[in-house]
Amino acid sequence: MDEHEALEYAIEAAQQSPCIKSQRGVVIWRRDVAFPIGSGFNHPPSPFVCGRNLDCRQQCGKLCIHAEEDAILKALDDRGVSDFHILHVRVVDGKAVPSGPPSCWQCSRTILQLRFKAVWLLHEDGLKAYSPEEFHQLTLENESLPVFKMM
């Protein structure tokens, strides 16, 4: 595949974007392979949908998966992480301390998009598991960002 063929795939990917602000497409390829390794477009993390409103437009850089991220995630997605758990810990002076509430929108949207089984955080009363959807919604609420509707 050459760069002209890659451009066609990227245009095709961008046209799938539901974004009202800007449709973006990305393709990952190798010259010695006839098809893309991954392609992607900008969109809210699944299972959320774009609100197609001013809040969405103003916050899309934080709320949506960027086209580059989407292509990379799709290239990795063949490995399948849907049965995997992910645990985050905060360490101070070599000891685990409570993580605090879900608050990183960059991580929550990636975790959600890859469909991990559960996200674990350490709290005062011990470890707690969140579904990726709950983790993402709490993150958006804690960061005062609009929450998309789920499909």
3-150: CATH topology is Cytidine Deaminase; domain 2 (3.40.140)
Q: What is the pLDDT of residues 25-34, one digit of tens each?
A: 989 888 898 8
Q: What are phi and psi of 49, to 5 degrees?
A: -125, 150
pTM tops 0.75, yes or no: no
Q: Kindly list the domain boundaries of the chain, sorted by start residue.
A: 3-150
Residue 11 pLDDT level (bands cut at 50, 70, 90): very high
Chain-centre distance of CA 147, in angstroms?
Answer: 14
pLDDT above 90: residue 106: no
- Pairing type for strands 126-130 and 118-123 reads antiparallel
Q: What is the DSSP string of 67-123?
A: HHHHHHHHHHHTT--TT-EEEE-EEETTEEE---S---HHHHHHHHHHT-SEEEEEE
Gap between the Cα atoms of 57 and 19, Å rounded: 8
- Report which of residues 40 and 62 the model is more confident about: 40
Share of the chain above pLDDT 70, in %: 97
Q: What is the pLDDT of residues 53-94, one digit of tens each?
A: 787 777 777 888 889 889 888 887 666 677 888 988 888 898
